[in-house]
Structure 1
Amino acid sequence: MEDEGATRDHVGSLERGLAVVEILARHPAGMTLTEMAEEAGLTRAGARRFLLTLVTAGHATQSGRLFSLSPRLLTVARTWLDGSSIWTFAAPILREVAARLNEACSAAILSGEDVVYVARVPGRRILSVSLEIGTRLPAYCTSMGRILLSGLPPEDLETFLAKATIDRRTPKTILERALLAEAIRKASADGFAIVDEELELGLRSMAVPINDRTGRIVAAINVSTQSARFTVSEMSEKILPVLLGAKQRIEEFFFV
């Protein structure tokens, strides 16, 4: 009976209309009526009705023979994001990482010379400062910062390296800008970054990027731990696979 009810309530035309929207999203340069009919498995008349309905509703535009999504859908998405941060939905994934490793797990974005925490699941107290959503830390000496900097266009990274304030936080902090550039390039090549006691003595952290569907780095997630609990090599063996699994789940949920 439940299956019959679900079938009765299923609106096939809405489902096909949403499929048309998704197809248009994959073709930002626009599509012709014939191309849409072929890709969506519709008749030309059916594809025409869906496309013209989207145009009338303001969710698509028509230029000659080409149909494209309109900025109105960006407004819809932005409204959803404003009310429901993706990190609200990604938080369970970060909690799983923290529970599995018994360590803190966080997410951050780049803002100027700093990283800004957008999500955090606390673990053991390993920092002298309290970290919470909105906390800012210098990008140059943090694992998430190195990852986020590795995603900058070359000219923006060059500007950062030339102008950033770089202070000695610990005896291990990299101060030479050429060495810092090398560490950022290594993070880009490796696909992860490890910062070993450069922010605070006794603290090691590992971060991986969160990429959108174009491959652009939009955020980073990390695990922070005490240097007595994990060596650098153990972090690569035990923490990295867990972080990469979380990265994949977040990207698949939000960006695929």
Structure 2
Amino acid sequence: MGKLRAADAEKRAASGYGPDFLEAFARGLRVIGAFSRERPQMTLSDVARATDLPKPSVRRALYTLTCLGLAASDGRTFRLTPRIMELASAYLGSNMITTIVQPACERLSEKTEQSCFAAVLDGYDIVMIAHSLHGRPDVLAPTIGLRRPAFNTAAGRAILSQLSDEALDAWLEKLQPKVMTDFTVTDKRALRAEILNVRRQGYAVTVQELRRGYHAVAVPLRRFDDTTIAALCIAAWVEDSSVGSSTDDYLAALRDEAQGLRPQLL
């Protein structure tokens, strides 16, 4: 087995993962994660640059993925295959939240004629676990597994609002907010005040902070014991509906679904 690069060895030591940490497995996951909508096909060199991994490691990872049918190659470029979804299906099949929440998203989308999704907090991102599209899916197309920043999204703020003050302050301390539109709030004091306001009112609204042209309304999704586990969110184009006139309607629908789901989420 090849030795770790000095830099990688230092990273492992600093991480505190310990001797049982499988570096090769972690590198393989990094290779999978390098592919995206913007980078659906890449050469070996492209993947090496995207992952900051040595080419021999990337070559072995891509070869293994190809042998397992999780990736395919035309001899020069590599791409993931639909079989990669088996990895996601393991989570989806074992997670009651996704199974129960998906029909709720579909009901909300049908009722409001807007896109609806459910998301969980993962570090500094939200991750979509259920969704239903309506209207303009070309740009408002959250797909299962899609990650978005938590700090400037309604779903993210709805979940963050349920953290304790201490946990929220610790989260904000390490946050590195990036400007995404002219409306993005990046000042941490202002963000904290906004999240606390979401806690008081019980819902979050964002207007063009993630992307110009649409706003979102979200509520925390709680399980039976009152623990917040996700957020339900409706995203709508500003040109399709006025924020002021539609928020109340969206909010009522979101709250009804969240309340109905609560006894089912064990």
What is the identity, as a one-letter code, of the residue corresponding to 2:102? A
Q: 2:150 aligns with which of 130, 133, 139?
A: 139
| 1:182 corresponds to | 193
| 1:192 corresponds to | 203
Helix, strand or coil for the counterpart of 1:88? Answer: helix
Helix, strand or coil for the counterpart of 1:141? Answer: coil
| 2:45 corresponds to | none
**1:244 paired to 2:249:** no
| Aligned equivalents of 2:214, 2:182: Cα separation in 1 | 13
What is the identity, as a one-letter code, of the residue corresponding to 1:216? T
Decide which moves more: 192-201 or 236-245: 236-245
**1:206 paired to 2:217:** yes
| Aligned equivalents of 1:102, 1:129: Cα separation in 2 | 13
Q: CA deviation at 1:124?
A: 2.2
User: In the alignment, is the contact (CA less than 8 A) between 1:127 and 1:203 conserved in 2?
Assistant: no
Q: What are the superposed Cα offsets for residues 27-82 of structure 1, whole Å, 9 maximum, x if unpaired?
A: xxxxxxxxxxxxxxxxxxxxxxxxxxxxxxxxxxxxxxxxxxxxxxxxxxxx9x95
Measured at CA, do residues 84 and 199 of structure 1 come closer, stay the same or move farther in structure 2, by a change above 3 Å?
closer
| 2:231 corresponds to | 220
| 1:86 corresponds to | 97
| 2:134 corresponds to | 123
Measured at CA, do residues 96 and 82 of structure 1 come closer, stay the same or move farther in structure 2, by a change above 3 Å?
closer
Matches within 5 A, 1:106-117: 106-117=117-128
- Total equivalences in the alignment: 177
Q: CA deviation at 1:243?
A: 0.6
**Larger Rg computed on CA atoms:** 1
Q: What are the superposed Cα offsets for residues 160-209 of structure 1, whole Å, 9 maximum, x if unpaired?
A: 11111201110000011111001100111111000000000111000001
Q: CA deviation at 1:253?
A: 2.3
User: In the alignment, is the contact (CA less than 8 A) between 2:224 and 2:263 conserved in 1?
Assistant: no
Measured at CA, do residues 127 and 155 of structure 1 come closer, stay the same or move farther in structure 2, by a change above 3 Å?
farther
Aligned-residue Cα RMSD (Å) equals 2.1
What is the identity, as a one-letter code, of the residue corresponding to 1:211? R
Percent identical pairs in the alignment equals: 26
| 2:47 corresponds to | none
Q: CA deviation at 1:84?
A: 5.2
Decide which moves more: 160-169 or 227-236: 227-236
Q: What are the superposed Cα offsets for residues 86-121 of structure 1, whole Å, 9 maximum, x if unpaired?
A: 321322221111011111110001000000111011
User: In the alignment, is the contact (CA less than 8 A) between 2:140 and 2:235 conserved in 1?
Assistant: no
| Aligned equivalents of 1:83, 1:200: Cα separation in 2 | 32
Q: 1:253 aligns with which of 256, 261, 264?
A: 264
| Aligned equivalents of 1:90, 1:161: Cα separation in 2 | 29
